[in-house]
Amino acid sequence: MSEKSFYEKNAQEAAAQAVKAIEAQTGAEVVITLRRSSGWYLAADLLSGALVALGALVALITLPWSFGAWAIPLDFAVAFLLGAFVCSRSSTLRRLLVSASRRRASVQTAARAAFVELGVSRTTGRWGVLVYLSMLERDAEIVPDVGVDVAQMGEDWARAVEAIRGAMARLDFEAFRTATLALGPILGRVHPRQADDANELPDEVSAS
């Protein structure tokens, strides 16, 4: 599947319905946010430019034709700019040129910032849960508020989180939806829905 599948109208509606289904089982409030990228990977763009420029330089030196002295710095500069520009527009190239640990750290940092930005911490019982999805990194981060007892949910919670991350790694929306729905009974067991529970946060996906 592709990144676009997560942004399609029917996918957004299905995700919102998944949130409603989860919250019908638990007092926890779930928010899904979808971001195109979680980091500013300028270093990857510069590295791409340098590699393309190096390739151009090698070609100029080894090709059996003669070039004017002015051609080498000009071609080097053009190749560098072209390589950097192409990388800045390519999620695939950026993933190849940025380490997995750097991508993971970017997702974790951006998810915690989004947790505050989207007001997930402002629920009455501090039972907010942010499901943060990042397209470029093909990764996810689940951020629970302080009132969510992750320890009590144990291995079931850990498996659900890994299933969501695995679905994002494959860009498989249906697998993501299924894995997200699995949060409902897990959260409901520890934080069951009460008769007076109110819907404090939007069910719709926040996408950018």
CA distance 69 to 116: 56
CA distance 156 to 187: 10
pTM of the model: 0.86
State the pLDDT at residue 23. Answer: 94
Residue 154 is encoded by which pair of tokens?
């144990």
CATH class of domain segment(s) 4-39+99-207: alpha beta
Domain residues of the chain, as ranges? 4-39+99-207, 42-97
- Token look-up 């910032």 returns 113
Average pLDDT of adjacent 10-residue blocks, the chain of 208 residues: 84 95 94 92 80 78 68 76 82 84 94 95 91 96 94 93 96 95 94 86 90
In degrees and rounded to multiples of 5, residue 33 shows phi and psi of -125, 145
